Structure 1
Amino acid sequence: MWRDKWVPIGLLILLGLLQYRLWFGKNSVLDYHARQQQVQQQTLQNANLNQRNALLKADISDLKIGLEAIEERARNELGLIKQGETFYRILPADNE
């Protein structure tokens, strides 16, 4: 009678151990989901960096092609003006 019960009990214990490893052990389902989230975050970060690199490449090609891009940058970033030009700054009116 006891011999007939040991086989199913042993199989249930083995199944329990395998289920434990599947859900909580090394490389478990929880680890898989965590890695999936990391991959999604890294993919988003890579897309942002690729977009930034494309903009930088466009800036570099503009600077290599002509002086107009250099002049535009000097005007916008450094506030430079040409000789003989007059600079006007228009401020918005206060609505009080």
Structure 2
Amino acid sequence: MRLITLALAALLLLIQYPLWLGKGGWLRVADYEAQVEAAHKKNAELIARNAKLDSEVRDLKDGTGAVEERARYELSMIKQNEIFIQIVGKGQATAAPAAATAAPLH
């Protein structure tokens, strides 16, 4: 009787192996679920980034305000007959005036 009990317990453990550690086992499924969750998070971040870029592209194509803003802040351009005033704080070093080197913005 004891031999039968041990044999049945061994068979039960052998049957449980694929359930826990096999190709479609619970541990692997949990790992796949974590990977899917990470992929969903990454996709959400990329969708938000793409929406921001799409909005910026549409703004650059349709309006001149975004182009003018970029020209002012990134290229230090000014409009014709416009005066550029830069206020420098005490701790900041003084640089060459941007108005003297900036190209006019038409």
Q: Mind listing any 5+ residue stretches in structure 2 that lack a counterpart?
A: 92-106
1:40 aligns with: 37
Tell me, in whole angstroms, the C-alpha distance in 2 between the residues paired with 1:91 and 1:15.
80
Question: TM-score scaled to structure 1, two decimals?
Answer: 0.74
Tell me, in whole angstroms, the C-alpha distance in 2 between the residues paired with 1:34 and 1:91.
56
Identical aligned residues as a percent: 42
Question: TM-score scaled to structure 2, two decimals?
Answer: 0.69
Hey, which of these two has a bigger chunk of helix by percent? Answer: 1
The 10-residue stretch of structure 1 (39-48 or 68-77) with the greater mean CA deviation from structure 2: 68-77
Provide the alpha-carbon RMSD of the alignment: 2.1
Structure 1 residues 85 and 38: CA distance shift in structure 2, 3 A: same
1:74 aligns with: 71
Count of aligned pairs: 91
The 10-residue stretch of structure 1 (74-83 or 39-48) with the greater mean CA deviation from structure 2: 74-83
- Structure with greater contact order relative to length (CA < 8 Å, sep ≥ 6): 2
The 10-residue stretch of structure 1 (41-50 or 70-79) with the greater mean CA deviation from structure 2: 70-79
Structure 1 residues 90 and 28: CA distance shift in structure 2, 3 A: farther
> Is 2:50 aligned against 1:50?
no
1:24 aligns with: 21
| Residue from 15, 24, 31 that aligns with 2:12 | 15
1:65 aligns with: 62
SS in 2 for 1:23: helix
